[in-house]
Amino acid sequence: MSKSKGNVIAPDVLVDKYGADSVRAYIMFFARWEMGAPWDSQGIEGSARWVRRVWTLFTDPASSSPMPATEETKKNLRRKVHQTLKRVTRDFESFEFNTIVSSLMELMNEMYKAREAGATGSAEWAEAQDIYLKMMAPVTPHIAEELWAQLGKPYSVHTQQWPAVDEAATRED
């Protein structure tokens, strides 16, 4: 988009339809920040779907597993969280925003699997939620703040310290 070329697209219609966080996530996700790309709002549905799925993951406490998660499930969840945190931290430092959103989408899928395996209520699940929202906050600030408050966390996810990577947890067996 370029004002001088007369091809500016007002985001108001997209914000009204999908929400500011979905539009923001899509802008960060659809192209490498420094390279840019021709604007195409067709792919925004993927970002909106991700935001809706995150909302459901954090607000729907249901788990289809009647048994608590195995130690292996909890260890795998923790590994994936810290591997993602390591990647996202590096990517924020190098302004690789499109890969940050991709990493968050992948972690969300792993969290759904862990939830179905009974991980909710565990210390590993609580850590995963905490770290996920801190990583998500720069990308989708409004939904991250709302979910943070719903979890009863201290004032504002945006004032929290960035989490530290547990290198031991990132190692594959």
pLDDT at 11: 75
- Paired tokens of 133: 């929202």
Cβ-based neighbours of 101, under 8 Å, separated by 6 or more: 25, 28, 29, 47, 50, 139
CA 120 to chain centre: 18
Q: Would you place residue 37 in the very low, low, confident or very high pLDDT band (cuts 50, 70, 90)? A: low
pLDDT tier at 38, thresholds 50, 70, 90:
low
Residues in the chain: 173
**Which tens digit of pLDDT belongs to each residue from 131-147?**
999 999 999 999 999 99
Report angle CA 111, 86, 69 to the nearest 5 degrees: 25
What per-residue confidence (pLDDT) applies to 127?
A: 97
Q: What is the DSSP string of 100-159?
A: HHHHHHHHHHHHHHHHHTT-TTSHHHHHHHHHHHHHHTTTSHHHHHHHHHHTT-SS-GGG
Question: What pLDDT score was predicted for residue 9?
Answer: 67
Whether residue 2 is predicted with pLDDT greater than 60 in this model: the reply is no
- Report pLDDT for 40: 61
Predicted structure pTM score = 0.86
Residue-level pLDDT at 30: 67
Per-residue pLDDT of 70-79, as tens digits, reads 999 999 999 9
Can you give the pLDDT at residue 21?
Answer: 84
Percent of the chain scoring above 70 in pLDDT: 85
* pLDDT over threshold 90, residue 6: no
Q: Write the DSSP symbol of residue 43.
A: G
